Chains A and B, each alone.
Chain A
Amino acid sequence: MKKGTLKQILLITDGCSNKGEDPSAVAALAAQQGITVNVIGILEDNQSEDPTGLQEVEDIALSGNGVSQIVYQQALSQTVQTVTRQAMTQTLQGVVNQELKQILGPDKSLDELPPEQRGEVMEVVDDLGETSDLEVLVLVDSSASMSNKLPTVQESIIDLSVSMNARIGRNRFAIFTFPGKKKPIEKIMDWSPKLDSISSVFPKLTSGGITPTGPALKEAMYQFGKKSLKRSFLKEDESNIEETGF
């Protein structure tokens, strides 16, 4: 059986967007294309747990079928990996739920099953999570207020690759920052299976107060398209997980 590829965008930001289209709308579009959008909002050390500026974080993830979390800098590494894993499980569960509905009828979902059977289904989800291929595009907000957090961000992305590369399935990561100099996003690292190699820190971009999250997400979405176009000449297993099923 061929496993599908799980596609995720991981947006790391510390504030709300203020330019271009609505990021939630773009996230919804991405979800339509089979790309999950996860969002991590970073709090300033002196900020309270529930800042109004980061309300958007939850909205984007909700419409992007993803997971969101608001954290302090020091918890970033651990959060990046839980968020990624949770989103994987969530996506796979969604697929399983759809299959269940087809087999058992429209009102049957995983939660409606008795605990014993649910256990067996979750084992399948767990298996898939371990063996599926995963593509994560990390999109980092590099506006002025983020610059002191970038070293931590880099550390946590490397840490994510350590975690994910322990899986059986293959991984690919790409890193982009936004806003770019002339384009909406700037490539830091192209698709690659390992991140241990990036010793070069994020370039010191300080681009004032603009945070065009929407356009950046849209551009990030195309990065999956470009690559799959190229890769589709090489292999044909690029199809979305929903089509492969199991």
Chain B
Amino acid sequence: MNQTSKKQDFRLRPGDVVTGKWHHKKYVIRKRLGSGAIGSVYLCESDGKPQALKISDKSSSITMEVNVLKSFQKVQGNRLGPSLLDVDDWIDPRGERYSFYVMEFLRGKQLSTFIHAHGEEWLGILMLQLLDDLTELHEAGWVFGDLKTDNLIVTYPPPRLRWIDVGGTTQIGRSIKEFTEFYDRGYWNFGSRKAEPSYDLFALAMVMLHFYHPKRFERGSNPQKTLLQKLYQTKPLAPYQPCLAKALKGEYTTSKQMKDELASLIMKRSDKGSNYYRINQRNSNTQPQPRRRSQVNKQTKAAGHPFLESIGIFIVVILFYLFYLILK
């Protein structure tokens, strides 16, 4: 902050080359992907491969994030965060020092863009994927912390939810350091900022709410009430409602519990065949129910026809009879 204000204008341009002080690797900057409280992320190229590079003048913050990414690496079969490729310092031509790390570049779509393009049934399914990953993360002793829509992307094919910014990840039992008010249960009066699995589950429920309220909403004088009311008013979320309400109230202690209940709600939902379930399903891991339901639909439509037909005939007959009466 105060010490960094002099460097705030710092920005890399396409074509710039960042060379590591310790490991001497060269990275050619291609474009800026985004920037946040701690540094900016650039798409870069090294040995002909696209990679993502996060650079900041806040050396300590970068080091903290690297520590988290490293601990992810230790989680077995990790598909959790992007994998870490390099950590180094860069001295720019003016002699200023920056710290950076390089990670795998994940090509994908924003969560909301993907769902709008592929159908709302994906929301529940992607959340199940997220719950699987969270289960793994929690079992390894970590909490995601700053879980929000912006930190999630969908890579495909096959569609897979991935998280991109792991800066907020915190050891279980500690305090959440980084959060975003809308997704933070402390902000909504629904609990503490202690890192525990239920903290992430609350944020996950908020990710689902956020999809239908992209502009977010105010918490008002009674935050708990406001939030639950919003949930009950959001019609498309009705099928998930019992599960989401429990997540908001902190009634799940593990992500496994929430996953099981959400999964059973999603199954039940496709059995009943609610109106907004899209039929043109091309996804391999959904159940066969939708197709069955489409057949049922055709049958009911067919059953409707004879009735309409007889009314039509009846009207025509009446008309002819009237003509007959008039002409006579």
Do A119 and B70 form a contact, CB below 8 Å, given A67-B1, A86-B1, A166-B193?
A: yes
* Beta-carbon contacts under 8 Å, A150-183 to B: 159, 162-168
Do A111 and B193 form a contact, CB below 8 Å, given A68-B2, A119-B66?
A: no
Do A89 and B186 form a contact, CB below 8 Å, given A111-B97, A115-B88?
A: no
Is B194 located at the chain interface by the 8 A CB criterion?
A: yes
Do A115 and B66 form a contact, CB below 8 Å, given A83-B1, A165-B192, A167-B174?
A: yes
A87 smallest CB distance to B (angstroms): 9
Q: Is the CB of B22 within 8 A of A114?
A: yes
Is B227 located at the chain interface by the 8 A CB criterion?
A: no
Residues of A in contact with B, size category: 35 or more
Is B80 located at the chain interface by the 8 A CB criterion?
A: no
B190 smallest CB distance to A (angstroms): 11
Chain A interface SS verdict (over half)? helix
Is B64 located at the chain interface by the 8 A CB criterion?
A: yes
Is B56 located at the chain interface by the 8 A CB criterion?
A: no
Is A98 located at the chain interface by the 8 A CB criterion?
A: no
Q: How many residues of B are in contact with the other chain, CB < 8 A? A: 30
Measured between alpha carbons, how far is A62 from B194 in the docked complex, in Å?
A: 31
Do A115 and B87 form a contact, CB below 8 Å, given A78-B181, A123-B67, A159-B187?
A: yes
Output the nearest chain B residue to A68 by Cβ-Cβ distance: B2
Output the nearest chain A residue to B59 by Cβ-Cβ distance: A111
B188 smallest CB distance to A (angstroms): 11
* Beta-carbon contacts under 8 Å, B1-58 to A: 1-3, 5, 22, 37
Do A110 and B2 form a contact, CB below 8 Å, given A130-B174, A159-B187, A166-B193?
A: no
Q: Is the CB of A89 within 8 A of B88?
A: no
Output the nearest chain B residue to A89 by Cβ-Cβ distance: B60
Is A25 located at the chain interface by the 8 A CB criterion?
A: no
Q: Is the CB of A62 within 8 A of B67?
A: no
Question: Contact check: which of A78, A126, A163 meets B64 at CB < 8 Å?
Answer: A126
Q: Is the CB of A115 within 8 A of B22?
A: yes
Measured between alpha carbons, how far is A88 from B169 in the docked complex, in Å?
A: 19
Measured between alpha carbons, how far is A193 from B100 in the docked complex, in Å?
A: 38
Is B203 located at the chain interface by the 8 A CB criterion?
A: no
Chain A proximity mask over B152-185: 1 for CB below 8 Å, otherwise 0: 0000000000000000000001111100010000
Do A125 and B193 form a contact, CB below 8 Å, given A115-B87, A119-B70, A164-B175?
A: no
Q: Is the CB of B2 within 8 A of A163?
A: no
Output the nearest chain B residue to A67 by Cβ-Cβ distance: B1
A115: chain B residues within 8 A (beta carbon): 22, 63, 66, 87-89, 99
Chain A proximity mask over B127-155: 1 for CB below 8 Å, otherwise 0: 00000000000000000000000000000
Question: Contact check: which of A122, A163, A168 meets B186 at CB < 8 Å?
Answer: A163
Is A8 located at the chain interface by the 8 A CB criterion?
A: no
* Beta-carbon contacts under 8 Å, A28-76 to B: 58, 61-62, 66-69
Measured between alpha carbons, how far is A67 from B60 in the docked complex, in Å?
A: 15
Output the nearest chain B residue to A163 by Cβ-Cβ distance: B193
Chain A proximity mask over B57-95: 1 for CB below 8 Å, otherwise 0: 001100110110010000000000000000111000000
Chain B proximity mask over A98-123: 1 for CB below 8 Å, otherwise 0: 00000000000011001110110011
Is A93 located at the chain interface by the 8 A CB criterion?
A: yes
A62: chain B residues within 8 A (beta carbon): 2-3
Measured between alpha carbons, how far is A110 from B181 in the docked complex, in Å?
A: 32
Measured between alpha carbons, how far is A119 from B67 in the docked complex, in Å?
A: 6
Measured between alpha carbons, how far is A89 from B60 in the docked complex, in Å?
A: 9
Measured between alpha carbons, how far is A168 from B66 in the docked complex, in Å?
A: 23
A43 smallest CB distance to B (angstroms): 15
A126: chain B residues within 8 A (beta carbon): 64, 67
Measured between alpha carbons, how far is A111 from B89 in the docked complex, in Å?
A: 9
Question: Contact check: which of A93, A119, A166 meets B176 at CB < 8 Å?
Answer: A166
B99: chain A residues within 8 A (beta carbon): 115
Measured between alpha carbons, how far is A159 from B177 in the docked complex, in Å?
A: 13
A83: chain B residues within 8 A (beta carbon): 1
Q: Is the CB of B67 within 8 A of A162?
A: no
Q: By CB atoms of chain A within 10 A, which of B2, B87, B97 has the most?
A: B2
Measured between alpha carbons, how far is A123 from B171 in the docked complex, in Å?
A: 12
A125: chain B residues within 8 A (beta carbon): 60
Q: Is the CB of A118 within 8 A of B59?
A: yes
B187: chain A residues within 8 A (beta carbon): 77, 159
- Can you report 10 A-B residue pairs in the complex whose CB atoms are below 8 A from each other? A58-B5, A67-B1, A69-B1, A89-B60, A114-B22, A119-B66, A122-B60, A166-B174, A166-B175, A167-B174
18 other A-B residue contacts (CB within 8 Å) besides A111-B59, A166-B193 = A58-B5, A78-B181, A93-B60, A111-B89, A111-B97, A115-B63, A115-B87, A118-B59, A119-B63, A122-B63, A122-B67, A159-B187, A162-B192, A165-B192, A166-B174, A166-B175, A166-B186, A166-B192
Q: Which B residues contact A (CB, under 8 angstroms)?
A: 1-3, 5, 22, 37, 59-60, 63-64, 66-67, 70, 87-89, 97, 99, 173-177, 181, 186-187, 192-195
